[in-house]
Amino acid sequence: MADVHTREQRSRNMAAIRGKDTKPEMIVRRIAHQLGFRFRLHRRDLPGAPDLVFPRLRRIINVHGCYWHMHDCRWGCVTPKTNAEFWQTKRTGNVDRDKRNLAALRRDGWKVLTVWECEVKDADRIAVKITKFLTK
């Protein structure tokens, strides 16, 4: 039988997940820094307080968790067994907010790259993706 959590256990588990300085974000930061790019973190004066901001280049990199931002990979399609409607509403709210923030950033002249948590597993591929994005 699958592991089913109580509502309280699920809530405690989800609350423990950080929104900033996550492992995938730290990996992307390390790669960008090793490539010689310097950036600002979580600029609150920009819509959505983007993860990595490259002001001189007018570029932004957001690192999204597959589950929380409903990526189309296997981790983004997972549905919790407890309180599923609540978590679905929360996740779709995240996606809607992402779209609004992306539109606002683009209107203000920023170019935005989204790096997904599942992509970070291949550091070489991410390094190429970041290099292409920041040197265009």
Reported as a single tens digit per residue, the pLDDT across 105-128 is 999 999 999 999 999 999 999 999
- Its CATH architecture, for the domain 18-135, is 3-Layer(aba) Sandwich (3.40)
pTM for the whole structure: 0.84
Domain-by-domain residue ranges, the chain? Answer: 18-135
Handedness of CA 11, 89, 51, 24 (dihedral sign): positive
pLDDT at 136: 80
- Phi/psi-derived region of residue 99, left when phi > 0, alpha when psi is between -120 and 50, beta in every other case: alpha
Mean pLDDT of the chain: 89
pLDDT digits (tens, 9 = 90+) for 64-111: 999 989 999 998 888 888 888 988 999 999 999 999 999 999 999 999
Q: Residues near 26 by Cβ (< 8 Å), separated by ≥ 6?
A: none
Asked if pLDDT for residue 15 goes beyond 70, the answer is: no
